[in-house]
A and B are shown apart, each in its own frame.
Chain A
Amino acid sequence: MPETFILIPGRTSKQGCGISEGKFKENYLAETSVLQVAPQDMQRLQLAQGDRVRIRSEWGQIEIAVTAAKSDELPPGLLFIAYGDQSSRLMGGDTHGSGMPTSKGFDVELEVLSPRPAE
């Protein structure tokens, strides 16, 4: 069953370094194509590092690997992804008269694609 989360795309220093190294290089591509999930949510959804999920927003959807957010960086219910092609796919074009599309803090549905078999 898909579950609603709030997604926060943002900068990371790895993503920033990746821009200088090159956007078609491994570091940038790796950093921008992984979704950070709160450890509690990982556990609850029985997700392990590298498992894939489908993320659907009002405007688009992606399939992406997950990783547990470090220590207590993310509270349960929040997801984080470094800015890049994947996060842009979930953004809408409307800016509500501001010039800025809603690019942080929007609702997404998460659906687990490859749950680990119960141990």
Chain B
Amino acid sequence: MATTADQATQSELKIVEDATCTFCGCVCDDITLKVQDNHIVEAKKACILGKAWFLNHDIEDRPSCLIDGQPAELEAGYRRAAEILCQAYYPIVYGLSDSPCEAQRVAVSIGDWVGANIDTTTSVCHGPSGMAFQGVGEVTATLGEVANRGDLIIFWGSNPAESHPRHFTKYSLMPKGLFVPNGRKDRTCVMVDVRKTKSAKAADLFFQIRPRKDFEALWTLRALAKGIPLDAQLVEQETGIELSRWQELMDKMKASKFGVIFFGMGLTMTRGKHCNSEALLALTRDMNAYTRFIAKPNRGHGNVTGADNVVAWRTGYQFGVNHARGYPRFNPGEYTTSDTLARREADAALIVASDPMSNFSQPAREHLASIPYIALDPKDTPTMRGAAVAFTVATYGINTGGTVYRMDDVPIPLRPAFPSPHPSDQAVLEGIERYVLQMRGVGVL
């Protein structure tokens, strides 16, 4: 019967509306997925990064668990992982930014039970901005406020055209909003960077500042905001931009109704780090004496903002948290993962959804390679290849549900497209926690 056959064909094609992409901090939740035979064949509205994310996450034909490179039962993996963590003097938990909050919570519990360091990729992303926030605070808003009100949009040390491709169209430049009804025409876009990146093409004004001079440039603007006289020659020499151009920018900032600065790792990864972010947050705060002005770090990973939130609500601190004394203590530079590895302090690690073996400094990588560690990742990575226990997991947002926080702290649910034979991060972490509780004689009442 023709109808039955049609139905059968149709039933193989599944459409998921309003699916959420977790590749970058934009966390676009308007993606339409076409799914066929446990494979996403189309990801409508997704950008180049989103398409690569959705179309390349198939079910990996690898064992869910490897112990010392050999296939093993999951239970054996959980037990071995718990042993490694419980036997360590200075275990660390790291990563978490590409995992849903539900799994992050379990990871923090494990860290608490074994007295570990808990740190996320925030420490090598906008951790310095978090420190700056602790110094001066932050004036900010959700991305919908930018879309509805922002008439002067500044990008500083951030290249969304490559890192957050839908940023302009969805949130910051193109949207026709309540108070900016003509979209792009109602907005002025300014880029400040040391490189004339792809993003610079979108700008009305481009300020190519000298490398490592972000702080000086921001401090120049703070002075101009308050009308403090400056030495024109010195300003140009330091920042690479004429004082008159900075003044022109300040005039635009003061004339705007709702100014926004999105900033990137151009500030946090460059000499000065938290001082750079602090200068930018202070400038934004100062501008509120003249008009409304907000700032927002352009966060990278899909749920790095969720990781900040989960770690903060459970421990009181956002990243770099140590539990060795039985309660949380915070000290960036001391309890952050780049440091605990490069100083050769950590003696075991639980790495969730991140790849320090690719991205960390050489001394940190060398030390990680020398200690037993557990890794969870949907993909094969250098970190997975060196793990004592490696769990191939289901991909969040593609195979599993849960919650992620967009870069502006808006929590968004996930709509999985197809099931995976591999366990979720949450399932693996709960399995490990079960053994940790046994080994530690802990039982939550």
Contacts and interface: CB of A to CB of B under 8 A. Distances in A.
B157 to A, nearest CB: 9
A92 B333 CA distance: 14
A56 to B, nearest CB: 13
Given A11-B159, A88-B360, A95-B339, A20 B53 contact: yes
Contact of B361 (A8, A12, A91): A91
Contacts of A78: 194-195, 211
A100 B128 contact: yes
Nearest to A60: B362
A74 to B, nearest CB: 6
Contacts of B364: 93
Contacts of A17: 48-49, 52
Contact of B338 (A10, A21, A83, A99): A99
A16 to B, nearest CB: 5
Contacts of A105: 194, 211-212, 269-271
B123 A99 contact: yes
B124 A104 contact: no
A6 B362 CA distance: 19
Interface in A81-96: 83-85, 88-89, 91-96
Given A98-B128, A99-B123, A99-B319, A23 B49 contact: no
Interface string A62-82: 000000000111110010100
Greatest chain A CB density within 10 A among B24, B163, B165, B337 is at B163
A73 B211 contact: no
Interface residues of A, number: 45
A87 to B, nearest CB: 9
A101 B338 contact: yes
Given A74-B195, A83-B359, A20 B127 contact: no
Given A8-B195, A93-B338, A100 B56 contact: no
Contacts of A21: 52, 56
A51 to B, nearest CB: 22
B379 interface: yes
A78 B266 CA distance: 14
B56 A20 contact: yes
Contact of B271 (A22, A75, A102): A102
A22 B380 contact: yes
Nearest to A105: B270
A105 B213 CA distance: 10
Contacts, number: 159
Contacts of A93: 338-339, 341-343, 361-364
Interface string B326-368: 0000001110111101110000000000010011111111000
Interface string B47-82: 011001101110000000000000000000000000
Interface in B10-35: 23-24
B212 A72 contact: no
Interface residues of B, number: 62
Contacts of A88: 358-362, 365
Given A74-B195, A93-B364, A100-B124, A13 B380 contact: no
A8 B124 contact: no
Interface in A1-60: 6, 8, 10-13, 16-24, 59-60
A73 B274 CA distance: 26
A106 B194 CA distance: 13
B359 A100 contact: no
Interface in B371-387: 379-382
B124 A101 contact: yes
Nearest to A28: B358
A91 B362 contact: yes
A98 B273 contact: yes
Contact of B127 (A16, A75, A100): A100
Given A8-B211, A20-B57, A78-B195, A99 B343 contact: no
Contacts of A19: 52
B195 A103 contact: no
A98 B274 contact: yes
B265 interface: yes
Interface of A: 6, 8, 10-13, 16-24, 59-60, 71-75, 78, 80, 83-85, 88-89, 91-106
* In the A-B complex, the 4 residue pairs with the closest CB atoms: A93-B342, A99-B336, A97-B333, A17-B52
Given A10-B159, A23-B382, A105-B271, 13 more contacts: A13-B162, A21-B52, A72-B196, A73-B198, A75-B196, A85-B358, A93-B341, A93-B343, A95-B336, A95-B338, A95-B339, A103-B124, A104-B266
